[in-house]
Amino acid sequence: MRIRGGLEAVFENDAEGWLQGPYWISGWGEHSNGHERVGKWRGAAEIGKTFDRHHGAGVFLRGYYGHDDYNIAFLRHLAVLQAGITLGGERRPTFRP
């Protein structure tokens, strides 16, 4: 049995200049009653920011903890912190007074 929950929130930033654009925070967690050698808990959290004036490009920071879904035995435990650039290709309209 698996129980999983998550949350995602997107916030608008009304700042002018290069900081204009949304930021987000998201996360999920899961509990499973699997094999005794596999950790019962796993989850991830992420925070990120995109910039309207830079065609939707942005940055993110993501963390993950738990068993490895891509390992065929699912026995490898991971604790990963990732930082990166996101290239969404979207640019929301920017209006100037």
Confidence bin at 87 (pLDDT 50/70/90):
confident
Q: What is the rounded CA–CA span in Å between residue 56 and residue 83? A: 17
Distances (CA, A) of 67 to 26, 28, 48, 60: 20, 14, 24, 22
Q: What is the rounded CA–CA span in Å between residue 58 and residue 90? A: 11
- 42-67: average pLDDT: 89
Q: Report whether pLDDT(92) > 70.
A: no
Is the pLDDT higher at 45 or at 16?
45
